[in-house]
Amino acid sequence: MDRLDRWLAAQIPALSRGRVQALIKDGHVTQAGRTIVEPNTRVKPAEVYEIVVPEAVPSDVTGEAMPLTVVFEDQSVIVIDKPAGLVVHPAAGHETGTLVNALVAHCGDSLSGIGGVKRPGIVHRLDKDTTGLLVVAKTDEAHQSLSDQFRSHGEDGRLHRAYLALVWGVPVRPKGVIDAALARSTANRTKISVSRHETARHAVTHYEVVETFHGAKPAATVSLLRLVLETGRTHQIRVHLAHIGHPVLGDPVYGTGFKTREAALNDVAQPLVARLRRQALHAEELGFEHPRSGKPKLFKSPLPVDMQRIIDALRAKPAAPVKSKATEKPAAKRSRKS
């Protein structure tokens, strides 16, 4: 005999097991006129259960009208191209002005309720100053499906996440895998670090060198990397790249030791990197299985302007020195045959 909460969740895919448990405890499930309040009640053959799902209540998050770059939206999900500086979820110090505040205003009544509340379902996040693609659930069904896909970290082929990053130096191998467990730093609780502690979480990042920019000095070498996540830990890419000695340009937390290298860059790139004031990391590709149709969806975001300008500047060759008129030689004349 199966548990009631597990059995009901299997019968109603649109509801998560956690949501079903809450409905049972709140007295919304009956059997033969008797209210059931224990989620672990055993289901017996031929029994009929009735579940009443109340209307979703409004979110306690205040909606704020903010400009959003919407890449895709339907009744189940919304895909956003997030700019730098936008915090995803309200938290201490960021109670307003977040992506969730913007989505509450943007989606309005199209939010059918996540866990009984009309709110957007955040299934993954990007750091405040990381740009790029992010998918958000609008229904309980979508939230459950996307959460399951992100938990599997792409092992079943449904989820795909790829990033672009500008890093200092160039890795020894053009392709590689960084397999290093991560944990909260014991020295600074706001940072993540590579750790062998038993509480450290498995973390794997695949990288490939897309392009290398060699400056006049070795310290000025910068590489553009493409990174594919096998797991999705907090600050994973930033910590992994710093761990192998190639931190992300502009990273204010994990790349501070490389700040002096900016002076070695060419005259065009140097001020652009100095003004960056964020990590040069961009979530370029996002693929997932659509929660309702089951069809694969793949989205791609162009590099943000600040990163593209740095790349253009790094590609530019220094101008040839201009010769003075006193030393300039006249060009040789060429005769033309008629």
> Mean pLDDT score of the chain, rounded to an integer?
88
Write down the residue that tokens 């055993």 correspond to.
Answer: 42
* Spatial contact of 288 and 159, defined as CB atoms under 8 Å apart: yes
Catalytic residue among 127, 140, 251, 306: 127
Q: Identify the CA nearest to 249 among candidates 219, 286, 228.
A: 219
CA 255, CA 237: separation in Å to the nearest integer? 12
pLDDT tens for 174-203 read 999 999 999 998 888 789 999 999 989 999
Distances (CA, A) of 46 to 1, 3, 31: 12, 15, 11
Going 77 to 78 to 84 to 89, the CA torsion angle's sign is negative
Give the model confidence (pLDDT) of 265-300 as tens digits.
999 999 999 999 899 999 999 999 999 999 999 999
What's the confidence (pLDDT) of residue 323?
Answer: 52
* Confidence (pLDDT) at 154: 67
Inform me whether the pLDDT recorded for 248 exceeds 50: yes
Query: Is the pLDDT assigned to residue 212 strictly greater than 50?
Result: yes
Look at 138-147, 209-218, 254-263, 323-332 and tell me which has the smallest mean pLDDT.
Answer: 323-332
What digits encode the pLDDT tens for the residues 102-128? 999 999 888 877 777 888 999 999 999
pLDDT band, very low/low/confident/very high, at 222 (cuts 50, 70, 90) = very high
Average pLDDT over residues 52-70: 86
Mean pLDDT over 299-304 rounds to: 97
Does residue 19 carry a pLDDT above 90? no
Residue 332: pLDDT band (50, 70, 90) is very low
- pLDDT, tens digit, 9 for 90 and up, residues 151-177: 887 678 899 999 999 999 999 999 999
Stated pTM of the model: 0.83
* Residues 312-330 pLDDT 10s: 999 986 544 555 444 444 4
Domains and their CATH numbers in the chain: 4-54 (3.10.290.10), 55-152 (3.30.2350.10), 157-318 (3.30.2350.10)
**pLDDT in the model for residue 317:** 60
Query: How far apart (Å, rounded) are the C-alpha atoms in residues 192 and 110?
Result: 37
The structure tokens listed for 87 are: 């915090």
**Which DSSP letter does residue 17 get?**
H
> Catalytic residue at 81?
no
Indicate the helix (H) or strand (E) that contains 19.
helix 17-25
Q: How far apart are CA 80 and CA 57, in angstroms?
A: 25
pLDDT at 137 over 60: yes
Task: Provide the pLDDT for residue 188.
Answer: 87
